[in-house]
Amino acid sequence: MPMMYRFSAIRDSRIPVAANPIFQHLLDVYASETNKVSSIWRAFADEELGYRPHKRSGTVLDIMRHQILSERRFFAEFLGLSEPEKPLPAEQTVIAFSEKIGELAGQRLDCLAGKDEKWWLQKTSFFDVERQRIWIFWRRVLHTAHHRTQLAVYLRMLDKPVPAIYGPTADATWIGADPTYTEDSAKRA
């Protein structure tokens, strides 16, 4: 049985077709990463939004807000997409944040689908350096993975189940799940 997410912010049928097939993986990965973030977020309860494991750590809410705001900045300032001025949800709830990240990602996917090779490879400002848009996009995906993982650790510290993201976890597995924990399994060709 294949891995199934309990919730998908962006269903496969919602992912647009890239104008250039070589860039389809960018759309697919961005949708997948958004679904992973949303799955982690939905594992929290609203009363846990103020949780932080250390006084110098951000709260769950801080990290959710940062994710939405930093995505807005990356896509607007660095990639040049049209983004809403106020991207945060009106309500500060887990469901509202989860729905908002899916909504914003869906709009970005529609815009990115029409971009051609020249656009993706064009250099633009990224903080104090110049980088190709495709590099900036991948940097965004990595930044997202960092914060998603941060919140997965928070879940574990709260003794809550961690949803399956890339494969089985101690809390979620299925028939056919085959994690690589031994040297023998790593040697498979």
Dihedral pair phi/psi, residue 74, rounded to 5°: -55, -50
Q: How far is CA 103 from CA 18, 96, 97, 125, 135, in A?
A: 19, 10, 10, 26, 24
Count of domains in the chain? Answer: 1
Q: 15-32 in b/e burial notation, b at 16+ Cβ within 10 A?
A: beebeeeebeebbeebbb
**Residue 66 counted as domain residue:** yes
**Residue 36 counted as domain residue:** yes
Residue 60, class by beta-carbon neighbours within 10 Å (0-12 exposed, 13-18 middle, 19+ buried)?
buried
pLDDT tens track for 84-137: 999 999 999 999 999 999 999 999 999 999 999 999 999 999 999 999 999 999
Residue 155: both structure tokens together = 């879940």
Q: Which CATH number belongs to the domain containing residue 139 in this structure?
A: 1.20.120.450
Q: What is the pLDDT, as a whole number, of residue 1?
A: 42
Does 41 have pLDDT greater than 70? yes
Residue 122, class by beta-carbon neighbours within 10 Å (0-12 exposed, 13-18 middle, 19+ buried)?
middle
What residues make up the domain containing 23?
A: 12-186
pLDDT tens track for 165-178: 877 777 777 777 77
**Residue 1 counted as domain residue:** no
**Residue 6 counted as domain residue:** no
**Residue 169 counted as domain residue:** yes
Local structure of residue 117 (DSSP, 8 states)? H
**Residue 118 counted as domain residue:** yes
Is residue 145 a contact partner of residue 33, using CB atoms and an 8 Å limit?
A: yes
Model-level pTM? 0.91
What integer is the mean pLDDT of 140-150? 96
Q: What is the pLDDT, as a whole number, of residue 177?
A: 74
**Residue 2 counted as domain residue:** no
**Residue 4 counted as domain residue:** no
Q: What is the pLDDT, as a whole number, of residue 34?
A: 96
> What does pLDDT average to over the chain?
93
Q: What is the maximal distance between C-alpha atoms in the chain? A: 52
